[in-house]
Structures are given as C-alpha cells and as structure tokens.
Structure 1
Amino acid sequence: MRIQDAGVIFGILGIVVMMVIPLPTWLLDFLLIINFSVALTILLIAMNTKEPLQFAIFPALLLITTLFRLGLNVSSTRLILGQGEAGEVIHTFGSFVVGGNAVVGFIVFLILVIIQFIVITRGAERVAEVAARFTLDAMPGKQMSIDADLNAGLITEKEARERRRKIEREADFYGAMDGASKFVKGDAIASIIIVVINIIGGFIVGMTMNNQGMGVTQVLQQYTLLSIGDGLVSQIPALLISTATGLVVTRAASDSNLSQDVLRQMLSYPKMLYVVAGMLLLLGVFTPIGILRTAPLAGLLAVGGFRIQQTKAEEAIKQQVQAEQEEQEEVRSPESVVTLTHVDPIEFEFGYALIPLADTNQGGDLLDRVIMIRRQLALELGIVIPVIRIRDNIQLRPNEYVIKLKGVEVARSELFLDHFMAMSPGIDDPRVVGIETKEPAFGLPALWISEDMRDTAEMAGYTVVDPPSVVATHLTEILKRHAYELLGRQETKQLVESIRNQYPALVEEVVPNLFSIGDIQKVLSNLLREKVSIRDLVTILETMADTAAYTKDPDMLTEYVRAALARQITHQFRPPGQPMTVITLAPNVEQTVVDNIQHSEQGSYLVLDPAISQKIYQSLNEQIQSLATAGHSPLVLTSPNIRMHFRRLLERILPDLPVLSYNELDPSVEVKSGGTVTI
C-alpha cells in the first residue's frame, strides 16, 4: 500500500513538474500513448459498470486526467514553438491521420471539438446537474423508506446502515460529477485556444527565428500540421473520457453491464426487426439506392429476428419445464410440509356463485372494499389489520361465504348477488316480499328482495343494501369484535416502533426498562376487547410509565389507561348532541360485587353465586329493553373498583354492552340516569 500511495503522489507531482520542465520528445511520445491508453481504459470501465457507485473514483480521476492532458499540451507547445517538432506521435497524427493537409486537419479537429464540446460535454454536464439535484431532493424520502422498512422488521440495522451509506455516497458522487463535468467543458475550450496559439506562435517563431531557410508557406504548413496533430492527440482521449462521463451519469442501476443491456433490450422485440427489414427493402426498390445495397442488411435483420424469436420460445419452454421440476422437487422435499403449518390471520372464503364479487373483470370491488376496511379500522381502532386472504372454496354452498380467524371459522352467511337486502323499519309492509334471512353483522331480520322490488321497499321505509355492502359491513364488525386477537407481540412492536422517531425518550423509557412488549400487548388487547381505540398510543405509554411504580398488573394498568383516555371513551359512546343515558348499579349490587372479588397471585377475579348472577342479568335486561324502547343505546356506569369485574361478568352474555366507570367520563358531559340494576 505504501508503494501504491507513493506512486500516485509522485505521479500527480510529475504532472505539475511536467508543466515547468521541458520534456524530451521520446518521453512526450511515451506519455501521449499512456494518455490515450488511460482514456480508453476509463471508457471501457464506464461501459461495464452496473451502477455509477461502482466507479465512484471517476470524478477525481476525471480531474487528474484533465490535468495530465493539459500538462502534455504545455509540454508539446514548448517543443513545437521551441524546436519546431514534437515527437513521432504528434507528427503521425498531423501527417498520416489528416493526410498532410493542414486545411483538412483543421476541419477534422474543429469537428471533434464541436462534437465533444456541444454534444457530449454539454449533455453530460446537464445530466450530471439534474441527477445531483434530483438525488438530493430524493434523500429525505429514501431515508424515510429505510426507516419504515427497519421499523417493519423487513431489514436489519446493518442493512439499514448500508442503505443509508449508499444514499449518502450517491449524493456525494452526483454532486462531485456535477462539478467535475465543468473540467471537461473547460478542457475543450482550452484545446481550441492552445491550437490557435500554436499556429500563430509557430508562424511568428518560424518567420523571426528561421534557421532552416524555410519560406512562409513551409513555415505555416509545418507549424499548422504540428499544432493540429497536437490538438488531435489531445482531443481523441478527451473525447473518450467525455463519452465515459456521459455513460457514467446516464447509467441507471442494472443487473448487467452496458453491452448486455443494449443487446437484451434492443433485441427484446424481434418483430420490430421484420419491420425495419421491410423498410430497407422498400428503400432499395423505390429509391436510386438500389436493392443490391439494402437487401443484404434487410435479410440479415430478418434472419436475426427469426432466430431471436426461436431462442425466446425455447427459453420460455425451458423455464416452464424448470419451474415444473422445481415445484415437484419442492413438493417432494421434507421442508415443504412446514409451509402447510402456516395459518393466515384472516381468511375470507366463498362459494363459486360469489366469484364475481371478487373478480374485477366482472365488476367486483371486494378487494377495494377490503382496503377501505383496513384503513377504516386503522383510523377507528388504531390497529393495522393483517392482509386478508380471499379465495374461493368449492366445499361451500354456491352462495355461502365464511370468515375465519387463524384458521377457525367465526362467521358464516349466505349472499345473493342478484338480490338486495331489505331491513324493516319496524313495521312490515305486506307489499315487500322476498326471501327471509338475517342481517349477518347485527342479526336483524331482513329480506332478500329482487331488483324490481327495490323501489317499493325504499318507499315503504326499508333500508336497502347491495350485496357487496352487506359483506363489507359483516367483515368490518367481525374484525372489530376480534381485533384484540389479531394484535400479537410482533404487531405491538411495530406500533411502538412507529412512534419511536417522534417520541424517542418515551419509547426508550418504557421499553424495555419498565415493560416488555408482551406487557404492552396485554394492555392494548384489553382495550381492543372493549372496542376502545389504541390510536393514541403516546397517551397509553405515558400512563403506563407513570403508573409503573404502583402496579405491573395488565388489568390494573388497563384501568389507569382507560381513565387517561376518558375524553376519547366518552366521545366514543356519547350520542351526538345529547346527554349520556346510562344504567347504574344499585349500592347493594356494587357491594355484592366488591365482597365477592377474590385475590390471588395470578390476579383478582369475581366469584359470584349463580342465583345472584341470574338476578343481575334479568334486571339488566329489563333496563336495556326499556332504554331500547325509548331509543337510547344501552350503557352501564359503575364504580372504578368494580368496572373490570362487572364487565367480565357480562362478557359472555352481553359482549357488545359498554361498561364505563365514573373515572372514564368527561366532566363536561351531561349524564342522565336511564335505570338501575337491582337484586
């Protein structure tokens, strides 16, 4: 490494010294050949890189090669003006390449400069500038994408650091390329000026210091050829490096190099080659070019297109056979059985008559509705519902569908796609006839009516719903009811990580110093079990952190969290613009519950006499019926110390009945008694 470092350092110092100390002609020839070789090497490397960062040294290399080329120009100019010669390489380019004609040479040199300066250099400069700007603008979005993948567990911390480092290197690379491209532009301008100076200076030197007795024409011819030869020797490597600059800044990330991409992408449409071959034949037939000049190339293109089509067909057959073989091998392998043990969190299966419900080609919008359901539950409950597996099942009846959670059926119903579901307003209309059924989400009596009966039902006050809406409502209610089962430790970790960026101090204090992910999951599951939104996760974690010194019991923590979410819970169950009508417990009922709470190492639980429980159920049912008749939604209000136990008492009998404590009411809300439970 020391020898290599010393070689680079002395090489750059040699370029600077070369501008000051005159070089012999043999050394100048050797350095000019090196310059051409380096330029060609850089071009070939640029063509074979798959992405720009594989040639990250290119901006610095561009500066060094430009400086090296300018140093050679200074040395060659010193020899041309001082000795009237500049070595065999420049003499060869000035005489052999341009045929010894100064006018032709100057025109060729001018064309090269125009190509490099106007076409390649300016284009590469513009592309580098735009790429640098867009790379810097895209950095925040890319960083957020990496953070999201890291929080979701899709990548590791090491992979995230590598991706961030790559983004930083891309920004640095394109920024450096934006500046380095200016050197190429300046080099093209300098080459024109140096050639003009060499021609004019050589003419003056040749006329004033003419030791060989040459005439004006000979002097002009000699110095012009040498100057143009010097310009061509410099401009050809410069043109190669300019082309490499354009290739590097226009190179997008790919899995292969430039030659492979060109061949694969340009020849990926073999039928287009037939079109080109036909156009060439027409050009040869109907123009003076002649069929003899266009027919060979047209035939070559046609044969090439035919061979490419054959190759593609053979590759497609090979891939199909290989895929079948791999599938068979996978089935035979012992590891394939492991995949059969995987259970989808949510499954929606339906009979063959309901396929149009999910088939977008037949107008089905079930997939779009599922997306909206997941968005709705994320807003209402604060939980990200897993992907719902939708598939048909020939074992079901044609119009039947089943909803499964973790492989177990939780709901089943029938659907008629050519009918509408009509729910009575309370008074049945004899004119509305149909197939009797029950609304699957809430169990209300309903009818499946034909489309001809729809207007009659709506005029009679019935609520008429189309089949996709029936399924969507049913699925939504099932997911709400079982949301707490879908929240595991992995999902809880993702929720906690989602707020880490905005509240790092809170997350670092709670997890894992005070609570584990499992403890948080239990609290969140308790809230979801009673359909309390966990969207305000910051308040939940803040409350758990504040009460960690008093208790670690998930049930007690849940009660503290519910009190902290009092405004949210009150708003959730309060009728808009009306006072809350609640059912309270008589003092003797509350005291009975308190007296029968048992405490153990595993927690506290309620042990109530079955006769007393039955009396509570009967009295509560009477109060619920009374409130329903009056048009109020039932809601039970209890003391904070028994709310959890009373809720568990009612959980199996009345799972959807909200039970609140006094601590969970917003003080600004008016509360009205709607009845009292007695025993």
Structure 2
Amino acid sequence: MKARDLIVIIGIIGIVLMMIIPIPIFLIDILLILNISLALTILLVAMNTREALDFSIFPAILLITTLFRLALSVSTTRSILKNAEAGEVIDTFGKWVGGGEVIIGFIVFLILVLVQFIVITKGSERVAEVAARFTLDAMPGKQMSIDADLNSGLINEAQAKERRSKIEREADFYGAMDGASKFVKGDAIATIIILIINLIGGFVVGMAIHGMGFQEAMERFSILTIGDGLVAQIPALLISTSAGLIVTRSASKGNLAEDLSGQLLKFPKMLYVAAGAIAMLGLTPIGILRTWPFAILFAIGAWFMQRTFEKQQEQEELLVEEQQIEEVRSPESVVSLLQVDPIEFEFGYGLIPLADTSQGGDLLDRIIMIRRQCALELGLVVPVIRIRDNIQLKPNEYVIKIKGNTVARGDLLLNHYLAMSPGFEDDSIVGIETMEPAFGLPAIWIDEQMKERAELSGYTVVDPPSVVATHLTEIVKRHAHELIGRQEAKMLVENVKESYPALVEELIPSILTVGDVQKVLAKLLKEKISIRDLVTIFEALADHGSYTKDHDILTEYVRQALSRQITQQYSVEGDTLRVITIGPALEKKIAESVQQSEQGSYIALDPVSTQQVYQRLSDQVNRQIQSGGQPIVLTSPTIRMYLRQIIERTMQDVPVLSYSELEPSIEVQSVGVVNL
C-alpha cells in the first residue's frame, strides 16, 4: 500500500473517531482552519477546471468534506456544552462577525444558511439532476455520432474508444453529482438543528452545571453557538458553490477566468451602452461623483478591447493566408493527394437521403453491420468505408471502388422497391425492369401500391437501402483478398500474439515472414475461406513452413487443416454433400501438364483441352444451378489448386474442393462427372 493511500485511510478513520472521542480545544482550532482551507482550495480548483470530468473525484470529496464538517460540529458541540468554550477560532467568529452584538451575528448566520440552502444548494441539485437525465438520454445519439465519424474516416478506432469512454464517464459523473448534491442539502439542515441544540442545551447546561446566571449563559452560549455555526457554514457555502460551478461547466471550454474575460467582455460595443446608462444614472440624486467614474472606466475598457479585437482579427487573417500559401508550397500538399482509400462508396445527389440521418437514412448503421458481418464470416477487419456524394454521377447512380478503381455500380429508385420473381412471372406485377446489382438477377422496380401484391405472389421484395447493403457486402466478400495487405496481416498477427505468444514467436519471423502469411491469408479469402480461426492456420503454417515456402502449397496444407470448417461451410444439406467430380482421365491430363519453375509450379494445359474443360464443366455447373443446388467441384488434392487456376477467371464463384478437405463423416454424392 502506498503512503498516500495509507494517509487517506487514516484520515477517514480519524474523522469517524472525532465523533466519538473528545479532542483538545487547540486541536479543534487547527481542524477548523484546515476545514476552511480545504473548502477554499476546492473552490479554486472548481473555478479553474475546463470541464466537469477534470474534477471527476468531486462527488467523493463532497461526501468526505461533509462528513468532516459534521464530525467537527459534533466535537465543537461537545466542547461548548462541556467546557463552555470551543477555542479561539469559534470565539473570534462569534464576536467579530456580529461586531459584539449577538442578534447581528445570529441574523448574519441565518442569511448564510438561507443563501446556501435555498439559492445555491437547490440550484446545484436541480442542475445536477437535469444534467444527469440529459446526459443519459443523449448517450445513444452520441454513440451513433461516434460510429458515423468512425465509418466516414474522421476518427480512428482509438479515438472512437476514447470518446465512448468519455461519454460513459460523463454519465457516471453527473449521476454521482445528482446523489452527492443531497449531502450539501442535508448538511445545511443539520447545521440549523445543531444551532438549536447548542442554544437550548447551552442555556440549560450553563445554568445547571456551570452555575451561570440566565443573562451570562445566554450571552456566552449564544456567541459560541453563532461562532460555531459560522465556522461550519462558511466552508459549507464554499463547497456548495464549488458544486454549482462544477455542474454548470458542461458548455464551457476554458476555466472560469477565461470564460468571463472571453465571453462577458466579448462585445465591446455593449460596454459603451452600459457606460451611457451609468452616466445617465448620475443625473439622478445618486450624483455624478458616484457614477461617472464607472461610466468612464467602462468606456475606456470598451475602447481598449475593441482595438485589441481588431488587431487579433488582422493577425488571424494574416495567419490563415500564410498557412494557405504554405500548404500550397509544401510537398505534403501533393503527397496527401496520393492517398487512396481501400473502399469507397460514391453516390449521386438523388441518393443523399440514404446517408442523411436527418432524412431517415440508415446507411451508416448498415455499414457498421456489414463490417461486423465480414468480421464474423471471413475473420477480416474491413477497412473504413469512405462515403461521399459525387455530382459527376447520375442522380440515382452509385459506384463502389476498391483502391480507387470502380468495381461495381448500380441504380436505385428511392421511392420504389426491388422485386425479384420466384421463378415464374406474374403479369399483374408491373414495374420498371432492371437487374439486381449484387447477383445480376432480373428484377423490377415497383411502387408502394404494388408491394403487397408482389409479396403475395411470392416475389422477394427489398427496399433500396437493403439493395445497397447487400451489394456492398458481396463486393467486400468478393474482393476481400485485395483488402488484406501486410499491415492488416501484422495487425491480425499481433492480435493472436496476445493470447498465443509461443505460436506466433515460433512462426514469425523464424519460419515465415509477415508477407508470407499475408499471401496465404489472401489466397484463402480469394476462395471465400474464412480466416477467423487464425490459430489453426498458424499451426498449419508452423508445421509445414519449414519444408516449403511455396505459398500455393502452404495454402493447400492450411485448407486441409481447416477441413471441419470447410465441410460445414458447404454441407448446407446436413450430412450430405452433392458435388461435381473430375474424371480420372482429366485428372491425369492436368497432372501431366504441371510445370516446375524457380518461382514454383504452374499449369500449362493446351488451349484445346482448356476449352473442353471449360465447356464440360460449365454444362455440369448450369445443370446443378437449374436443379436448385450449389455447384461444388471435387477433385484429388494433387491437382485441386491447378484446376482452380484453370477455372478461376470464368467460374470464380464455383468452389473447388479436394477429398482431403472433407471430414470422413460427410456423405459425398456425385451429381456429375467432368472428363475428357
């Protein structure tokens, strides 16, 4: 335990003991001075905080100082009733504040109590309550704003995390202040009760125990009681003022002095008006001598401030011009133009309502869900998707770019729905013919009146935001291998290293480099194999990376290690997998066409045979699609990657699996054979 922790614990225990154990009078004087000093320090700190969270410990301090004052009140009450004295501090306050008059001191004390209880404490309590309520109500909107800034690229993940943490701390702080303000209110009530007890009890004890007369007892104990109340009430007033300052700092950006000088004196012309009003007041019986000095002072101050503001504006304008010239001349102004966003979504002005939250657009929320979906399905952290409008596009057109190049485009009709037929056409469903952008299926745009009829006819009906989200999701999945570079791979490696340091240290860099791992991950993503199970992938690379550095071969080993995942991914019909197999003659032909080079192995199949493979495999794939199944090609492990190389340009979405990538428990049914 640190020394400061021990001091705080001893201090809290000491406060509790003060309520039980009598303490010497000289120590009471020291503690009373300490109480006033602490209250003044807290007030000064509250005045210089720029925002409420800069003094987030204030609710706890409010409780501790309130407990300290009450403990002092108990000790002083004990000393007043027992010894008819309570030290020089209380005696001085009782005589000095009232000027020797008990009634005046009593009135001053009551004024202080009323000011604290009715004005400051009630106001601070109400402000804290409203601030806590508004802060909690505003949390969802602030969270959505942070997510929107994150998706648009204005902030990064670390900044978003910091902002979310600040919102949570603000809610906790104002909630704590809402409860802590009740301490100040209770302290004011306790002070009044203690005053009554000291007065009545002092008269009784003074006459019954100390043998004083009524006049002497009333004078003596009235001075002590008023002094005790003033000594306790002045720090309480400072603390409650501090609480009011803290809870009203929500809209301020500087400390109290900066805000007063920067905002109260922000309009010099208004000071001229104030000076004129004060000068006019001097024409009344109040007199010129009492008012005109202030009027002159206000006018001179306004003149100086106006000159200062004009000079500041001139300097700011010169500074802005210099910065603009410097930006144009600096090499960074050209370098910044070289930045290419990984993913961009651009749209015409007619589609602005999709992204404008004030018009009900939820595109930003959908993009958040797309990134989450890709993380779960592919194990890939999709980069921030840049969203912007482009006046060069048609009003209802949008384009999707990968690294600055357009990879997809589409058209939307915001007041319509996209309807896709279930396989048979209904002549009563009329609309604008189009193509579904994500999968290229024939569809029609229908209006609101036609929507219900289309749904009853079995059509699949989706709204424009869902069309965009689906298209964007498919594009991200199709080009996922382009989105993972060395930097992204390194980030994934560091994430695994936190939980499996031994695995990563063995693999990188002693066996493979980050670039080697990145190439394997990209090849897996290119064939839509999830890389979420990085531990299994790294284990396979560590086992086989010592024998070969060929990325294609390493990818095959990794695919075999992910056999359970691959089997579950494609066995959508339970324990049965319907596949198109490759005949022995074609497998032999492909194996004999493999050539070796310094860069690795590649397939060199003659054009005639290649065309035959395309044609016969295309026939089997089309037959499988027409029967409602997913076309899957199954071949031997030795030629899987070479067959994939042959068909990946024309049949990119057709998965090619090997026998080693399937679990023994799965039942394989051949629905067609491709042979030469």
TM-score bracket for this pair, using the shorter chain length: 0.5 to 0.7
Q: Distance in 2 between matches of 1:127 and 1:448?
A: 53
| SS of 1:588 mapped into structure 2 | helix
Could you tell me whether the CA contact under 8 Å between 1:586 and 1:676 is conserved in 2?
Answer: yes
Alignment equivalent of 2:623, drawn from 621, 626, 651? 626
Q: Distance in 1 between matches of 2:463 and 2:71?
A: 78
Could you tell me whether the CA contact under 8 Å between 1:100 and 1:225 is conserved in 2?
Answer: no
Could you tell me whether the CA contact under 8 Å between 2:116 and 2:237 is conserved in 1?
Answer: no
Alignment equivalent of 2:216, drawn from 208, 214, 219? 219
Q: Distance in 1 between matches of 2:80 and 2:452?
A: 97
Opposite residue 347 of structure 2, the aligned amino acid is F
Q: Distance in 1 between matches of 2:120 and 2:428?
A: 82
Q: How does 1:101-500 map to 2 (within 5 A)?
A: 102=102, 105=105, 154=158, 199-200=203-204, 202-203=206-207, 207=211, 216-228=213-225, 230-232=227-229, 234-240=231-237, 242-243=239-240, 246=243, 255-258=253-256, 330=327, 334-355=331-352, 357-358=354-355, 366-415=363-412, 438-445=435-442, 467-496=464-493
| SS of 1:343 mapped into structure 2 | coil
Q: 1:347 deviation in Å?
A: 1.9
**Pair 119,361 (structure 1): closer, same or farther in 2 beyond 3 Å:** closer
**Pair 183,548 (structure 1): closer, same or farther in 2 beyond 3 Å:** farther
Aligned partner of 1:672 in structure 2 is: 669
1:64-123 deviations in Å (ceiling 9; x for gaps): 9869967995998699758xx976x76664456446554665576578679889999999
**Pair 391,225 (structure 1): closer, same or farther in 2 beyond 3 Å:** closer
Opposite residue 254 of structure 2, the aligned amino acid is S
- How much identity, in percent, do the aligned residues show? 50
Q: Does 1:573 align with 2:570?
A: yes
Could you tell me whether the CA contact under 8 Å between 2:416 and 2:446 is conserved in 1?
Answer: yes
1:433-485 deviations in Å (ceiling 9; x for gaps): 77665443333455667788878977887666655544443333222211111
Q: 1:565 deviation in Å?
A: 2.7
Aligned partner of 1:527 in structure 2 is: 524
Q: How does 1:579-590 map to 2 (within 5 A)?
A: 579-590=576-587
Q: Distance in 1 between matches of 2:393 and 2:42?
A: 67
Alignment equivalent of 2:660, drawn from 641, 663, 667? 663
Aligned partner of 1:635 in structure 2 is: 632
**Aligned-pair Cα RMSD in Å:** 6.1
Q: 1:613 deviation in Å?
A: 2.4
Could you tell me whether the CA contact under 8 Å between 1:489 and 1:521 is conserved in 2?
Answer: yes
Opposite residue 407 of structure 1, the aligned amino acid is G
Aligned partner of 1:48 in structure 2 is: 48
1:481-519 deviations in Å (ceiling 9; x for gaps): 11111123343444455566xxx442x123344135444
Q: Distance in 1 between matches of 2:116 and 2:430?
A: 84
| SS of 2:670 mapped into structure 1 | strand
Matched length: 586
**Pair 182,548 (structure 1): closer, same or farther in 2 beyond 3 Å:** farther
Q: 1:625 deviation in Å?
A: 3.3
Could you tell me whether the CA contact under 8 Å between 1:352 and 1:394 is conserved in 2?
Answer: yes
**Pair 119,442 (structure 1): closer, same or farther in 2 beyond 3 Å:** closer
1:220-241 deviations in Å (ceiling 9; x for gaps): 3442344235424533444346
Q: Distance in 1 between matches of 2:460 and 2:34?
A: 87
Q: Distance in 1 between matches of 2:248 and 2:588?
A: 78
**Pair 584,354 (structure 1): closer, same or farther in 2 beyond 3 Å:** same
Aligned partner of 1:3 in structure 2 is: none
1:392-440 deviations in Å (ceiling 9; x for gaps): 3333345543221111111234445566656566666788777665443
Could you tell me whether the CA contact under 8 Å between 1:123 and 1:246 is conserved in 2?
Answer: no
**Pair 402,93 (structure 1): closer, same or farther in 2 beyond 3 Å:** closer
| SS of 1:442 mapped into structure 2 | coil
| SS of 1:379 mapped into structure 2 | helix
Could you tell me whether the CA contact under 8 Å between 2:375 and 2:382 is conserved in 1?
Answer: yes
**Pair 343,228 (structure 1): closer, same or farther in 2 beyond 3 Å:** same
1:317-373 deviations in Å (ceiling 9; x for gaps): 999989986678755654333322221222223344545555566665544544443
Aligned partner of 1:511 in structure 2 is: 504
Could you tell me whether the CA contact under 8 Å between 2:127 and 2:247 is conserved in 1?
Answer: yes
**Pair 120,437 (structure 1): closer, same or farther in 2 beyond 3 Å:** closer
Q: Distance in 2 between matches of 1:251 and 1:430?
A: 67
Could you tell me whether the CA contact under 8 Å between 1:570 and 1:664 is conserved in 2?
Answer: yes
Q: 1:531 deviation in Å?
A: 1.1
Q: Distance in 1 between matches of 2:496 and 2:610?
A: 43
Opposite residue 399 of structure 2, the aligned amino acid is V
Q: Distance in 2 between matches of 1:46 and 1:640?
A: 73
Q: 1:58 deviation in Å?
A: 6.0
Q: 1:665 deviation in Å?
A: 1.8
Opposite residue 257 of structure 1, the aligned amino acid is N
**Pair 251,402 (structure 1): closer, same or farther in 2 beyond 3 Å:** closer
**Pair 267,576 (structure 1): closer, same or farther in 2 beyond 3 Å:** farther
| SS of 1:349 mapped into structure 2 | strand
| SS of 2:158 mapped into structure 1 | coil
1:609-650 deviations in Å (ceiling 9; x for gaps): 333323322332232233334443221111123222221221
| SS of 1:571 mapped into structure 2 | helix
Which moves more between the two structures, 118-127 or 31-40?
118-127
Which moves more between the two structures, 571-580 or 116-125?
116-125
Q: Distance in 1 between matches of 2:432 and 2:57?
A: 70
Q: Distance in 2 between matches of 1:65 and 1:415?
A: 69
Which moves more between the two structures, 393-402 or 58-67?
58-67
1:251-292 deviations in Å (ceiling 9; x for gaps): 878643356679999999xxxxxxxxxxxxxxxxxxxxxxxx
1:127-165 deviations in Å (ceiling 9; x for gaps): 99xx9xxxxxxxxxxxxx9xxx9xx863799x99x99xx
Q: Distance in 1 between matches of 2:491 and 2:436?
A: 35
Q: Distance in 2 between matches of 1:192 and 1:328?
A: 74
Aligned partner of 1:286 in structure 2 is: none
Could you tell me whether the CA contact under 8 Å between 2:69 and 2:232 is conserved in 1?
Answer: no
1:583-625 deviations in Å (ceiling 9; x for gaps): 1122232233333434455443333333332332233223223
Could you tell me whether the CA contact under 8 Å between 1:637 and 1:659 is conserved in 2?
Answer: yes
Aligned partner of 1:295 in structure 2 is: none
| SS of 1:154 mapped into structure 2 | helix
Could you tell me whether the CA contact under 8 Å between 1:351 and 1:401 is conserved in 2?
Answer: yes
Q: Distance in 2 between matches of 1:185 and 1:453?
A: 70
Which moves more between the two structures, 608-617 or 478-487?
608-617
